A and B are shown apart, each in its own frame.
Chain A
Amino acid sequence: MKKTINILLAGVGGQGTILASDVIANVGLAAGYQAKQAEVHGMSQRGGSVTSFVRWGEVVYSPLVGAGEVDILLAFEKAEALRNLNQLRPGALALVNLEAIEPVTVTSGGQTYPDDAQLRIAFAQITPDVVYIDGPGIAAKLGNPKVINVVLLGAMSALLEKQDWDGLEVSAETWLQAITERVPPKFVELNRQAFLAGRQAVLSPA
């Protein structure tokens, strides 16, 4: 891999974005690249937005990525996907989890939550390469909504294999290893299934 790959994770506090970015950073390291990760979580524990950058490359200097230079977006939530759209370079790869977490400004205030048409129209302006994934549905089938983050990692791993990223090669085993090291032993099997279900959703969509 010659160039650096800039990955952005965007979601809401409590969705597991930090664990996911931790896994992605360690996958990069395990695959033989330099990796850096930077969280921008502010007051996320109080329901705010969370973003996290991960960069892989032969040499990685900055842990941050400038606006308009993200190669891969992993959006955990629809409004946060839209909020971070201007972070993407044209033609970037976007993986969007079709989950809505309405902020209080919508649930008890006067603001409105974007509908799916708004989401799709906005993304179409910047890249044809958008994959929408029903994370909540897949996780519900596995019996635990908490594993949506690992479903998304599975989907991302498969998407990376479908495109050529300057010769980047990361095996599913490398991903599973990084996940296994970061979840409690009794949840390893559940997370393995979630990872595989995420891959399945991309490799052979229903």
Chain B
Amino acid sequence: MIKLLSGNEAVARGAWEAGAAVASAYPGTPSTEILENFARFPNVYAEWATNEKVAVDVAVGAAYAGRRAFSTMKHVGLNVAADSFMYASMTGIEAGLVIVSADDPAMHSSQNEQDNRTFAKFGRVPCLEPCDSQQAKDLMIAAFELSERFDTPVLLRLTTRVCHSMSAVELGERSEPLLEAAQTRKFPRNTAKYVMVPGNAFKRHPVIEQRIRDVAEFAETFPFNRIEAGDSSLGIITAGISYQYVKEIFPNASVLQLGMTWPLPERMIRQFADSVERVIVVEELDPFIEEAVRLMGIPVEGKSIFPLIGEFDPRVVRESAVQAGLLPETAHVPLPEVSVGSLPTRPPVLCPGCPHRGAFYVLNKLKVPVNGDIGCYTLGLITPLNAIHTCGCMGAGIAVAHGAIKGGSSERHVAVIGDSTFFHTGIPALINTVYNQTPVVTIIMDNRITGMTGHQENPGTGQTLQGKAAPVIEIEPLVRALGVKHVRTVQAFEIEQIETTLKEYLKLDEPSVLITLEPCALLPEGRKRWLPLEVIADQCNGCTLCFRVGCPAILKSEELDEHYQRPKAVIDAGMCTGCEVCAQVCPRDAISFREQRNTQEVGL
């Protein structure tokens, strides 16, 4: 049966067909849907872990126990998991272990565009790269086989374009026997292999160096490394999604498509290079293949022709080739010359009813430096809230604020972090502020879900990825247990309470934590409570204060205030959830509260 699948769906399908039994991950675009899809297959275990390092350790444990296992993450997740990735390479496994890294060229939703193939080389781990959904499935299966054959973790490296594109996939069946074999197996007591104390590790190092040489030999006949012989004047080495652009722009060239980009099949590459007059490498991001081929002593071009930065598409590849003289001038396709006039920008914004809005409104008012973190609340950055001043990676904000104070910052610092990010890497940083004593005010914006990636469960949600009830980890007692003496939980829409608490905490000389609690407005139970508010036009004089909460549901009305001749506010009933943040900000009581709306609805 043939079906259109996204690359992520295909990876999940491949894992299932390969008999994978355990998967653990932390959500991260563009990787998230892999686990969401895998979790729905029968007879599998899939979980959201607290972070990527934990997730990889979980997968390692399952693979030690003899079950095929994998972990998925966005590219920067592998930074968090790097320690585990490296020891797993040293120990090897009992059953197949695959680490899936979804890289994000062009940074559609990321803080950098690091090329994780370097991790494969760094860790002496094979790296496979699919070019479409069919290969995503096939290479996931091949990755498990490779892992067991060579006793190594395998890195399956995807990119956003592979993850989020749909193409046809031939569906297969699940191979179950592996599972049965695993059930009778005892956990290994092979300490020389699995306890990486220096003495053992010293003996393992030559083993993994030999292993990667053995995989290189295997790569020479790996069926996903393949030559398509064509015109001998130009030979192109490519991998991943770039293969598609090469086929489209150079239909007649000779092509070496690498399904395994580390280690490289040196003899195959030499043979290919010898068969053509000129060798170029077409790869997104780093000159990873290019540099390796050059080290073989083969004259090769790559990044001198194609961009180092961003994502390719057929135009990028074609126009780069024209500029370098690889294609004739006639191949150039001019961009249409059109003038569209001025267009408004459409930045992402905090949703109407977002529980993060109130705290950012207050922070903006207090004019304190805010060290932010990764999640929906990073959007507190955007005008008119303007209340995030640093944001680098998951879990950084609290420690950056602590460091700023230790570094002599003359101002009081506030750190902002979400519930899921707090569980991810925020907790050690908060402990550090208690241990080393800085008066950082930490706001934990607790919306009970992992919001930015599309509502994945977390330890505060009370439910697991596969729909089982789970203990709810409450943040306030946890924070108290860490030794923070000043902790208060406030409903996230209560602006006055947030302001009072922050003003009080900003005077302290020790750490404090404000938890703003309210489930995400987009959760089904949140939607049920929606009740749009209304601007009482007679009372509005167009002062624009309500616009400063930055809510998409508050619009400029056509009606002008008679005295000031400025537009009054009006609320879009289709978008407003009734969170009342704007109503609290209005100095003229011109926005109805829910209570007033309820009264109207029952006709009193």
Contact = CB atoms under 8 A, between A and B. Distances in A.
A12 B348 CA distance: 10
B408 interface: no
A114 B343 contact: yes
B74 to A, nearest CB: 14
A67 B335 contact: yes
A177 to B, nearest CB: 14
A12 B346 contact: yes
Contacts, number: 168
Interface string B318-357: 1000000000000001111111111111111111000000
B376 interface: yes
Chain A contact residues, majority secondary structure: mixed
A48 B350 CA distance: 11
A43 to B, nearest CB: 4
A25 B316 CA distance: 24
Given A34-B168, A62-B314, A67-B315, A79 B109 contact: no
Interface residues of B, number: 56
Contacts of B316: 66
Contact of B109 (A42, A63, A104): A42
A171 to B, nearest CB: 19
B555 A108 contact: yes
A89 B165 contact: no
Given A46-B348, A79-B343, A69 B333 contact: yes
Given A46-B376, A48-B348, A86-B336, A63 B552 contact: no
B263 to A, nearest CB: 27
A64 B314 contact: yes
Nearest to A117: B341
Contacts of B547: 108
Given A42-B108, A42-B109, A43-B348, A63 B555 contact: no
Contacts of A37: 4, 165-167
A63 B346 contact: no
Chain B contact residues, majority secondary structure: loop
B245 A62 contact: yes
Interface band, chain A: 35 or more
B67 interface: no
A12 B575 CA distance: 14
A62 B554 contact: no
A25 B338 contact: no
A165 B97 CA distance: 48
Nearest to B451: A45
Contacts of B345: 103, 105, 111
A66 B344 contact: no
A46 B379 contact: yes
A108 B556 contact: yes
B344 A111 contact: yes
Given A61-B248, A88-B336, A122-B339, A104 B4 contact: no
Nearest to B384: A108
A56 B292 CA distance: 37
Interface in B229-277: 241, 243-245, 247-248
Contacts of B335: 67-68, 86
Contact of A46 (B313, B350, B544): B350
Contacts of A60: 167
A108 B271 CA distance: 63
13 contacts: A36-B166, A36-B167, A38-B165, A41-B108, A47-B348, A61-B245, A66-B318, A68-B334, A69-B314, A79-B344, A105-B346, A111-B344, A126-B336
Given A25-B166, A61-B244, A108-B550, 12 more contacts: A37-B167, A47-B346, A47-B351, A48-B347, A62-B248, A64-B314, A65-B313, A65-B314, A66-B313, A83-B340, A86-B336, A103-B346
